[in-house]
Amino acid sequence: MDELKINVLYYGDNLEILRKYIPANSIDLIYLDPPFSSKRHYNILFKEATGELSAAQIKAFSDTWHWDQAAEDTFQEIINTAPPKVAKLIDAMVDGLGRNDVTAYLVMMTIRLVELHRVLKDTGCLYLHCDPTASHYLKLVLDQVFGVKNFQNEIVWHYRRWTAQAKRFQRLHETLFFYTKTGNYKFNTQFTPYTAGSLERKRQGILHRFKRGEEPYLVTTTREQGVPEHDVWHIPFVPPSAKERLGYPTQKPEALLERIIKASSNEGDVVLDPFCGCGTTLVAAHSLNRRWIGIDITHLAIAVMRSRLEDTFRGIQVEAIGEPVDVAGAKALARQDRYQFQWWALSRIKAKPFPEERRKGADKGIDGVIDFVDRDEATGKPSMKRAVVSVKSGHVHVKDIRELKDIASRHAMGVFITLEPPTREMRTEAVSAGSYHSPLWNKEYPKIQILTIEELLRGKAVDMPSPTSPYAKAPKVSKKEEQLPLEGS
């Protein structure tokens, strides 16, 4: 195993990434917000050219697990290789609950928690974020993997948001289990500021502090930082209108991650998020001068995270390990998952995916779009324009260009991305489409452009006016940001 790389994104199954890239006893803090087995499909919103969040959505991931051959294989691996007490628990759970969606989820989580325990330093901490769907089962697994004595807190994150009528109490909290690897762990006490009333009583010398088994005593100094933070956290949910909101389905507030990172790590420590989604953990860690590692299994999430980090921290260079670096890698990705290939290819030209349900009729064959600002020739006012994108991973033919020409005739431009080399007839057909004239830039651009994956990997870009970002733009931080080096990396 190579030395640990930091401030990087990894694309792929986090179990494989942990085993291949993350050495034992190398991580100071782990935060994970895994799918909860809630049987929901989570969508990601993209930004329209106007800057508003689009009604169009792309399915980012399915929070559904099934007992299939992969689950059976993982179960057998746990029985044969996991610590005996872990194997015994999982065997009992599967025996008692049966082979179903819930146990498939628990098996998936258990094998990963064993690996997370391996990579965590002896002084390290782990926070697992979950909801009531499976929290009671996960607590049992955590007790066996980390040890009951290393359970520190069950933290309740309470928030308010709009609710719908229901025949039960409204669900407005989630749970975080806080575990350590040993009893010798890092912890920086966090404080809640005194209220105005408490400060006034404190000034008057009548604010009492109690200790178990002792008489109450007066708090007379005004230099204390406040009340030590308790295990019920009132942190607002990220509202849809917030600048922080990026449209990612399970986005958590930065304030939540900042509290965890401040409490259980120091500057320069390494923070790992193996289910990092839109990257809130990474942004919070970088802002607090921690080093970080993010892992996700979709290229859509990798693209969102890279865009968010680059928007937030001026000059940051984000490496994504596991993305194709050559044509052979691109072909392997296309064979493995056509949609992941499309998302990866679209991210290379900063295009947003086009929802599958809208790829019909006049838009059939369109996989993505790129929005850009131009000037209306008639009025001279700013006008939003669009380039439509088609991505092909298999055999290509001149008819593909003719179909794109027809669709692009209703838009400014068309872009054709192909894994296989285009034919001479395809290039001739593309040239016959003529050009798009930009009044704003007073420049001609090819109406139809063909780019091969090989060209994209060499850095070739679409020849067009400056595009708008497909993602909701994250606010920049005001402080000077630098990537912290790791000795030996």
Q: What is the pLDDT of residue 228?
A: 85
Q: What is the pLDDT of residue 200?
A: 63
Token look-up 């993305």 returns: 323
Q: How far apart are the first and last CA of the chain?
A: 13
- Tell me which of 3.40.1350.10, 3.30.2130.10, 1.10.3720.10, 3.75.10.10 is the CATH number of domain 351-457: 3.40.1350.10
pLDDT exceeds cutoff 50 at 301: yes
Tokens matching residue 132: 């009531």
Nearest to 125 by CA among 282, 263, 13, 243: 263
Q: What is the pLDDT of residue 222?
A: 43
Average pLDDT over residues 274-290: 94
pLDDT exceeds cutoff 90 at 240: no
Q: What is the pLDDT of residue 353?
A: 85
Q: What rounded mean pLDDT belongs to the chain?
A: 84
**Span 399-426, pLDDT tens digits:** 999 999 999 999 999 999 999 999 999 9
- pLDDT tier at 63 (50, 70, 90 boundaries)? very low
Q: Region of 21 please: left (phi>0), alpha (psi -120 to 50) or beta.
A: alpha
Nearest to 56 by CA among 368, 416, 403: 368
The amino acid at residue 336 is Q
Average pLDDT over residues 49-65: 44
Q: What is the pLDDT of residue 299?
A: 86
Q: What is the pLDDT of residue 170?
A: 84
Q: What is the pLDDT of residue 178?
A: 98
**pTM for this one?**
0.83
**Span 309-321, pLDDT tens digits:** 988 898 898 999 9
Tokens matching residue 282: 């990474």
> Where in the chain are all domains bearing CATH 3.40.1350.10?
351-457
- pLDDT tier at 133 (50, 70, 90 boundaries)? confident
Tokens matching residue 129: 């974020």
Q: What is the pLDDT of residue 106?
A: 93
**Span 357-400, pLDDT tens digits:** 555 555 678 999 999 999 988 888 999 999 999 999 999 999 99
Average pLDDT over residues 11-17: 93
Residue 196 or residue 31, greater confidence: 31
Q: What is the pLDDT of residue 300?
A: 83
Q: What is the pLDDT of residue 42?
A: 36
Q: Among 81-90, 188-197, 202-211, which is the least confidently predicted range? A: 202-211
- pLDDT tier at 74 (50, 70, 90 boundaries)? very high
> Where in the chain are all domains bearing CATH 3.40.50.150?
8-188+232-321
Average pLDDT over residues 216-235: 68
Q: What is the pLDDT of residue 372?
A: 94
Q: Among 183-192, 301-310, 410-419, which is the least confidently predicted range? A: 301-310
| Strand, helix or coil for residue 357 | helix
Collect all residues with Cβ–Cβ distance below 8 Å to 12 and sequence separation of at least 6. 295, 297, 322
- pLDDT tier at 46 (50, 70, 90 boundaries)? very low
pLDDT exceeds cutoff 70 at 5: yes
Tokens matching residue 472: 């909701």
Residue 299 or residue 24, greater confidence: 24
Q: What is the CATH number of domain 8-188+232-321?
A: 3.40.50.150
Average pLDDT over residues 94-120: 95
Q: Among 6-15, 64-73, 88-97, 160-169, which is the least confidently predicted range? A: 160-169
Neighbour tally for 27: CB within 10 Å: 26
Q: Are 484 and 6 in contact (CB under 8 A)?
A: yes
